A and B are shown apart, each in its own frame.
Chain A
Amino acid sequence: MDFTDVLYGFQVALQPSNLLFALVGVVVGMVVGILPGLGPPATIALMLPLTYVIQPEAAIIMVAGIYYGAYYGGTITSVLLRLPGEAASVVTVYDGHQMALQGRAGPALGISAIGSFIGGVASTFGLIFFAPLVAQFAVKLGPPEYVILAIAGLAMVSSLGSARPLKNVISACIGLLIAMVGIDLITGSSRFTFGSFDLLGGIDFVAVAMGLFGLGDILYELEKGELGARVKGKIGRILPSRQDMKDSSGAIARGSVIGFVLGLLPGGGGVVSSLASYATEKKVSKHPEEFGRGAIAGVAGPETANNAGSTSSFLPLLSLGIPSNVVLALVYGALLIQGVTPGPNLITEQPAIFWGVLASMVIGNLMLLLLSIPLIRPFIALVKVRLSILSSLVVVITMVGVYSVANSTFDMWVMLAFGVIGYVMRKTGYDPGPMALAIVLGPLLESSFRQSMLMSGGSLGVFFERPVALVGVLAIAAVIAVRVFLGRKNVFRNLPTDS
């Protein structure tokens, strides 16, 4: 890493248009994170058509802003309404909502914003330091290593996803099949097109993502018919007191480290990081009995880890070209729309994107901190927006948005079909995340697998003979073993009951 690269990144991120898109991303993310029914994947999916008409670095800067903005938006609803906007905010409910009931919602939200800022910035500096080193190393990786990395990503997401692991494997396999639709790039023959001219170019990922996460979510929530919610208790002063800061400082420091490390793992990101941080804080606390009853460390730690993990999960994407979770798969999709393929060469071929995006994370996190404190009260008013009004507008925007990417009404039908699939998946206990990730990783996985077979003369031993691939295989085996023997329920056993 050269310091001039970092300065160049800030030069890119501080351009007025990029600052504007970072601001738009953070605000849109926060707003949508608060609104009922839409989480970070849905928000990013719905914004994908907009990324098509702006510069690549601006597009990713905006999407990154939505990512951490939406997580903070989810925190607001977790604390005030006991409604986690997405999985990473689930643990915040335990102590954050208890603080709200005690009239201390303000300090809970304030410490979340401060922790998120510190975690996000610490993690960004970690990325600035480590990402170039990983990219240098990744240049030496061959097809067998990429097969293992892609499988590791899918295995981890399947293992940690919200549905049963077997259902996640099924979801991923269907995603891999969908990724094969179109022309086989190696032989030039068509597959799964069934004579349709429209399918020859493959199924557009933007239409798939907007259907699975956007339409699917909206119709599912509309069926539930939940209306705008009412905030209970007083918000109180938002800036935490000196004692609050003292009680939270250790949790914030530990959360930054835990989040950064766990975010690097395939399948990692905010969810695992926040869970691990909560369990750690409870373990190291001198008063573990206070957890679940409004302990501020139980909010500060997970919120810090959540944002640190979300930030560091960009490393596998930017340096290896492997999205480690669903949101990053959508970022991958946004880059592909721009004609940019993420991977080890991104740092040399697209330095404006690589360094600009990293630098924008520092600025975006600062924006998040500065906006969150004065804007908490107006944002709370958004909680009351009725899903009925929101959904009718969002469906038209998504329809016209997906049409605008390629002026194709076929993509509107694709989005509708995947909306139905997303809705049915939610009704039947499947997680659409592994499917979306598999659609993105499918082409890389297949081409790397076939190249590996050609290289090795058809020997599957190629995945065990090369040191990096072998380490990957062992890591996958370890994850599966831990998942099988411990079971997911044990992860939650240390947490207090949500009463």
Chain B
Amino acid sequence: MRRRVRTHAYRLNSLVIALVGVGAAVYALSLPIGTLAQPGSGLWPLVVSVVLTLSALALLVAERDPDDYEPMVVRTFIALAGFALLALFILGFQLMGLTIPSLLLVFVWMRWLARESWTVSSLVAVISTIVFVVVFVVLLGVPMPKDPVLSLLIGGRF
């Protein structure tokens, strides 16, 4: 039974997409639909949602080969950890600008996701952060959120 459930688990994707289609169609119906001669803002979303739902249902019925679906493997957690790190980077960037988040992101990424040595990870993190600051802040003048490190080193507007 468990094996059978696992064999058909890939069909979940079509079901989820069909549900997204139905959700979008319900939302479109809450907008003015109008008529074909006088289309409202909901008509086009409704048409697209219906096509999406029907395509997902057709896929649910027609797809018999799970080869398209790559299984979750141990290394999948590396990708998931990468996304989590990027979310932390954005939060850090909003709070303390570029320097500290980029230094930490590059270091953690290299040391634990890519399994580089401590030396290589530290060197690349420091050098790349300096390059990022020079390129984005000094040369391109991108206005960054308040950055305590740059405030300390350069002062003024940082």
Contacts and interface: CB of A to CB of B under 8 A. Distances in A.
A389 B114 contact: yes
B136 interface: yes
B36 A170 contact: no
Interface string A445-464: 01001100110011110000
A403 B142 contact: yes
A499 interface: no
Interface in B96-154: 98, 102, 105-106, 109-110, 113-116, 120, 124, 128, 132, 136, 140, 142-143, 145
A423 B79 contact: yes
Interface in B20-73: 20-21, 24, 27, 31-32, 35-45, 48-49, 51-52, 55-56, 58-59, 62-63, 67-70, 73
Contacts of A170: 17, 52, 55-56, 59
B136 A173 contact: no
Contact of B140 (A222, A404, A460): A404
B110 A220 contact: no
A453 B36 contact: yes
B52 A173 contact: yes
Interface string A351-394: 00000000000000000000000000000000000111101110
Contact of A192 (B27, B142, B143): B27
Given A170-B59, A173-B55, A176-B48, A396 B41 contact: no
A407 interface: yes
B36 A184 contact: no
A4 interface: no
A169 interface: yes
Contacts of A173: 21, 48-49, 51-52, 55
A166 B55 contact: yes
Interface stretch (A131-139, A277-285, A413-421, A471-479): A413-421
B93 interface: yes
Contact of B44 (A387, A396, A449, A459): A449
Contact of B136 (A218, A404, A458): A404
Nearest to A164: B68
B83 A419 contact: yes
B13 interface: yes
A190 B22 CA distance: 20
B86 A395 contact: yes
A392 B110 contact: yes
A412 B98 CA distance: 13
Contact of B31 (A191, A395, A450): A191
A223 interface: yes
A215 interface: yes
A403 B36 CA distance: 41
A403 B27 contact: no
Given A173-B48, A407-B143, A412-B90, A391 B75 contact: no
Contacts of A416: 83, 86-87, 90
Contacts of A387: 114
B68 A223 contact: no
Interface in A8-46: none
Interface SS of chain B: helix
B106 A393 contact: yes
Of the listed residues A192, A225, A386, A429, the one surrounded by the most CB atoms of chain B closer than 10 A to its CB is A429
Of the listed residues A187, A395, A400, A459, the one surrounded by the most CB atoms of chain B closer than 10 A to its CB is A400
A219 interface: yes
Contact of B51 (A53, A169, A427): A169
A126 to B, nearest CB: 36
Given A166-B62, A392-B109, A454 B52 contact: no
Given A400-B136, A400-B142, A458-B36, A392 B105 contact: yes
A205 to B, nearest CB: 18
Contact of A420 (B31, B83, B90, B93): B83
B143 to A, nearest CB: 6
A409 interface: yes
9 contacts: A166-B62, A191-B45, A192-B24, A389-B116, A395-B86, A416-B83, A428-B70, A450-B43, A458-B38
Given A177-B45, A192-B45, 14 more contacts: A163-B68, A166-B63, A170-B17, A173-B21, A180-B48, A191-B42, A223-B79, A225-B78, A388-B110, A389-B114, A400-B98, A400-B102, A453-B39, A460-B36
The 9 closest A-B pairs by CB, nearest first: A429-B68, A388-B114, A458-B37, A458-B36, A173-B52, A392-B109, A184-B41, A223-B79, A219-B79
